Amino acid sequence: MPELPDITLYIEALEQRVRGARLESALLAHPFLLRTFEPPISELNGRRVIDIRRVGKRIALQFEGDLWLVVHLMIAGRLHWFPAGTKRSGRAVLAAFMFDTGTLTLTEAGTKRRASLYVFGSEAELKRHDPGGLEVLDATFEQFRERLTASNHTLKRALTDPRAFSGIGNAYSDEILHRAGLSPIALTQKLDAAAIRKLYDAIRVVLPEWTQRLREDAAGAFPEKVTAFREDMAVHGRFGKPCPVCGTRVQRIRYAENETNYCPRCQTGGRLLADRALSRLLKSDWPKSIEELEKL
């Protein structure tokens, strides 16, 4: 799922291309993409975009008349831009928005249709659909500490809960926890002040650092390489590869369609966390430490 760095890049690209542009028409190719019915999406036609903002992991475009188009890309949704006068690609699109400056399309890989669109009739309505996660880059340490310890969850769950923190998902939570040297299953209410400070500082380094990296990679073009898996990430998507800090093989916990990647030496004191699928299969043979794993 595109997270804060990716969404920031999309918004910067859209600012250059559609702010002040007039929407001429919108084409929806999938009947369940639009999750609202009032006001109708046709109400946006002929109106200009006057603001673009991030709401959690969503992109919100404000049109004249206090109308809002909200795009939630979910896991596999992606945006593409075609300047006026250029030919659109042949890939199947779920939605196309024809502006007087060019065409914005929404595609989604795979067969599961999770991406969604919403049209809201006021900013107040938009705010009612905001999950309410804390913007850590704007928050004080005390605000962060209070939000983190409000409930007792694992760090992985807390960081990826959109009601707790805004814009952080599966990929960057792995990178943040590795940078902080904290276990993904550590409980929020069991952390001491020093650990909470490490986490707070890691978020405020990792997210801006990756935003800048992606900005440099795009080099002013519309971002087309939006992915949760990048070769220069420390642990996310790097199961079995060496940790860039200590060289220990990166491990993972798999659950449903997600997985958590971590370094057992940097983050868990050498202890291997039980993987739900493999530990059930191996039972007592499941290695408990780096040393046991290396013997295998």
pLDDT, tens only, 154-199: 999 999 999 999 999 999 999 999 999 999 999 999 999 999 999 9
What does the pLDDT read at residue 256?
Answer: 64
CATH of the domain at 68: 3.20.190.10
Cβ pair 74, 1 in contact under 8 A:
yes
Crossing angle of helices 193-218 and 4-17, rounded to 10°: 40
Residues contacting residue 268 through CB under 8 Å, at least 6 positions apart:
183, 262
Same domain, 22 and 96: yes
Give the Cα separation of 295 and 164 in Å (integer): 41
Domain that holds residue 120: 4-128
What does the pLDDT read at residue 90?
Answer: 66
Number of domains in the chain: 2
Across 203-230, b (16+ Cβ under 10 Å) vs e yields: bbebbeebbeebbeebeeebbeebebeb
What does the pLDDT read at residue 1?
Answer: 76
Helices (H), the chain: 4-17, 123-128, 141-148, 155-160, 170-180, 193-218, 264-267, 276-282, 290-295
What does the pLDDT read at residue 293?
Answer: 41
**Domain edge (last residue) among 103, 128, 153:** 128
Q: What is the DSSP letter of 188?
A: G
CATH of the domain at 253: 1.10.8.50
**Domain edge (last residue) among 73, 106, 128:** 128
**Domain edge (last residue) among 128, 147, 166:** 128
Q: What is the DSSP letter of 41?
A: G
In this prediction, the residues of the chain whose per-residue pLDDT falls under 50 are 278-287, 289-296
pTM of the full structure = 0.91
What does the pLDDT read at residue 258?
Answer: 79
Closest listed residue to residue 265, CA positions, set 249, 285, 286, 287: 249
What does the pLDDT read at residue 288?
Answer: 52
Do you find a cis peptide bond into 39, omega within 30 degrees of 0?
A: yes
What are the distances in angstroms from CA 89 to CA 14, 65, 80, 106, 259?
Answer: 19, 32, 9, 12, 33
Question: 31 by DSSP, 3-state: which?
Answer: coil
What does the pLDDT read at residue 278?
Answer: 46
Same domain, 22 and 150: no
Q: What is the DSSP letter of 154?
A: B
Give the Cα separation of 182 and 238 in Å (integer): 17
* Lookup: tokens for 85: 């006068």
